[in-house]
Structure 1
Amino acid sequence: MAKELPACPVEITLQLIGNRWKVLIMRDLLEGTKRFGELKKSVGSITQKVLTQNLRDMEENGLVIRKVYAEVPPRVDYTLTEVGYSLKSVLDSMIEWGTSYKNKAE
Structure 2
Amino acid sequence: MEGQENLQPEVEKSFELIGKRWTGLIIYVLLSGPKRFSEIHSIIPDLSKRVLTERMKELEEHGIVLRHVIPTRPVRTEYLLTKKGHELGKILGPISQWATNWMKENY
TM-score range, shorter chain: 0.7 to 0.9
SS for the counterpart of 1:78 is strand
Shift of 1:103: 5.3
Shift of 1:105: 5.4
- The answer (yes or no) to whether the contact 1:16–1:61 under 8 Å persists in 2 is no
Kindly tell me: are residues 69 and 19 of structure 1, through their superposed partners in 2, closer, same or farther at Cα, counting changes over 3 Å?
same
TM superposition score normalised by structure 1: 0.81
Instruction: Name the structure 2 match of 1:96.
Output: 97
**Alignment RMSD, CA only?**
2.1
Instruction: Name the structure 1 match of 2:43.
Output: 42
What code does the residue aligned with 1:89 have? K
Question: Is the deviation greater in 20-29 or in 77-86?
Answer: 20-29
Instruction: Name the structure 2 match of 1:15.
Output: 16
- The answer (yes or no) to whether the contact 1:30–1:80 under 8 Å persists in 2 is yes
Shift of 1:61: 0.2
Shift of 1:12: 3.1
Gap runs ≥5 in structure 1: 1-5
Instruction: Name the structure 1 match of 2:4.
Output: none
Deviations 1:26-70 (A, max 9, x none): 111000000111011012211111111100000000000001133
- The answer (yes or no) to whether the contact 1:30–1:85 under 8 Å persists in 2 is yes
Q: Percent identity?
A: 35
SS for the counterpart of 2:54 is helix
Shift of 1:10: 4.3
